[in-house]
Amino acid sequence: MDNQRQQRVDTFLITTIVLIIGISVFTLYTLGEAYSSFEGYYKRQIIWFIVSCIGVAAIMVIDFDRYRKFAWPLYILGIFMLAGLHFLPWAWENNGALRWYKFGSTTLQPSEFVKVFLVVILAHVITSHNEKWSTKNLKYDLILLGKIIAITIPMFLLIAIQPDIGSSLVILSIAGFLIVISGIRWRTIVTLFGTAFVIVASLFLLYFSNPEGFISFIEDETSFDHVADRIKAWDNPHLYTDGSAMQAIKSMMAIGSGQLSGKGSMNYQVWIPERHTDMIFTAVAEQFGFVGSSVIIILYFLLIYRIIQIALETKEPFGTYLCVGIVGMFTYQIFQNIGMSIQLLPLTGLPLPFLSYGGTSLLVYMAAIGLVLNIRSRQKSFMFESDNQ
């Protein structure tokens, strides 16, 4: 045989995930001990982790390349799940946001599932395009870019109107990471991202030149009132006394009070809403300070670094694109969640992957890791192959 598939279990990646999940369970336990409203969440997180591990095992049974056959059905299912929030009887609105399906006491957030669906369909489309095109020119660039945009925009818009700006930006992050490594020439990529940078920079200039007018426009002319509230809370939270502004202030108080080594396990003194989900980083920082926070950031760095390594090592383009799309999904969410906790970025409803409590999100993130482990476990190895290749 010229080549063979070797089953490889990536213990480094598995260990990293288990450590993050362990910190999550411990943090949820301490929150439950300190506040009765958070009691029992750590047990549910363990149950969801076990269920997710079963899902990972199921994902790894099938060769990852075979998932290309399910790419379009998954994409169509994702679009239907998002659109169904507007007409299906199980749709559930909470705090002005139409983001969930509710089945009894169980809720399901379709925007979490479509992140992985988008990674799969874009990886498939880019791979198929590159298999058909041997010459890279402007036509190649524009057609491939058009395909990526046409697939991404429907998901982006359906999530944005829920409204859920945080998850819609994750969708753009996935597409952006894949565009960079899709094979599109750099002159086209620089033009695209340069245009996006000019648009974003112009919005920042408009805001800082006339904050009140910018906020008034969002509140009066669009349906994104919550975005205006969060921008105000981010820019100057001390001018406001409730909502996002108070959450931002208390988040900074909790993180700052942890100082270098923290106050100690279960020693909470700052109450923050949604601390078991979106604001769980503040719980780690208050208990264990800068040291504990740094451990979390290092673990996430190792997670991203390892997935990138696997992307570089695999010789099958579809596997590489899957890994890079997953890196795009995780990287933005980690940066956004920690950034909003330290008031570097406006507040959003994005959970911190694997650390925040949430059944749907944990299931989806573990499914993404299952794909990465699948790719790693089925890497092709060639006879007489040099280790330096």
Q: Chain centroid to CA 72: how far? A: 21
- DSSP string for 152-184: HHHHHHHHHTTT-HHHHHHHHHHHHHHHHHSS-
- Helices (H) and strands (E) counted in the chain, each on its own, are 13, 5
Same domain flag for 31 and 138: no
Same domain flag for 84 and 28: no
Does residue 263 sit within a domain? yes
* Residue-number span of the structural domain to which 310 is assigned: 1-61+241-384
Question: Do residues 19 and 356 touch, judged by C-beta distance below 8 A?
Answer: no
Does residue 190 sit within a domain? no
Does residue 203 sit within a domain? no
Same domain flag for 6 and 134: no
Please give the Cα distance from 8 to 37 (Å, whole number).
43
Question: CA angle at residue 277 from 276 to 282, to 5 degrees?
Answer: 65
Same domain flag for 262 and 354: yes
35-49 burial by CB neighbour count: b if 16+ within 10 A, else e? eeebeebbeebeebb
Same domain flag for 84 and 178: yes
Tokens of 201: 């920079």
Neighbouring residues of 52: CB distance < 8 A, sequence distance ≥ 6: 362, 363, 365, 366, 367
Tokens of 304: 């991203």
Tokens of 147: 């395909």
The last residue of one of the domains, among 182, 204, 224, is 182
pLDDT score at 383: 45
Does residue 258 sit within a domain? yes
Bridge-based pairing state of the strands 97-103 and 106-108: antiparallel
The last residue of one of the domains, among 144, 160, 182, is 182
Task: Give the orientation angle of helix 243-258 with respect to helix 280-313, to 10 degrees.
Answer: 80
User: How many distinct structural domains can be found in the chain?
Assistant: 2
Same domain flag for 245 and 380: yes
Question: Do residues 219 and 225 touch, judged by C-beta distance below 8 A?
Answer: yes
Please give the Cα distance from 118 to 123 (Å, whole number).
8
Same domain flag for 174 and 77: yes
Same domain flag for 126 and 250: no
Does residue 200 sit within a domain? no
Question: Do residues 371 and 326 touch, judged by C-beta distance below 8 A?
Answer: yes
Only one residue has tokens 């945009």, namely 149
Does residue 331 sit within a domain? yes
The pLDDT tens digits along the chain (389 residues) read 344 444 578 899 999 999 999 999 999 999 988 888 888 899 999 999 999 999 999 999 899 999 999 999 999 999 999 999 999 989 988 877 888 898 887 888 999 999 999 999 999 999 999 999 888 888 999 999 999 999 999 999 999 988 888 899 999 999 999 999 999 999 999 999 999 999 989 988 888 888 778 878 777 667 676 777 777 777 777 666 666 777 888 888 889 888 998 888 888 888 888 888 888 999 999 999 999 999 999 999 999 999 999 999 998 999 999 999 999 999 999 999 999 888 888 888 789 999 999 888 999 999 999 999 999 987 765 444 544 44
Please give the Cα distance from 165 to 159 (Å, whole number).
7
Only one residue has tokens 């959450």, namely 247
The last residue of one of the domains, among 182, 216, 232, is 182
Amino acid at 189: I
Please give the Cα distance from 389 to 383 (Å, whole number).
12
Does residue 174 sit within a domain? yes
Does residue 251 sit within a domain? yes
Sign of the torsion formed by the C-alpha atoms of 18, 24, 29 and 30 = positive
Same domain flag for 167 and 274: no
DSSP annotation of 7 reads -
Same domain flag for 249 and 376: yes
Same domain flag for 3 and 97: no
Question: Do residues 214 and 200 touch, judged by C-beta distance below 8 A?
Answer: no
Amino acid at 290: F
pTM listed for this prediction: 0.91
- DSSP string for 87-116: T-TTEEEETTEEEEEEETTEEE-HHHHHHH
Same domain flag for 22 and 98: no
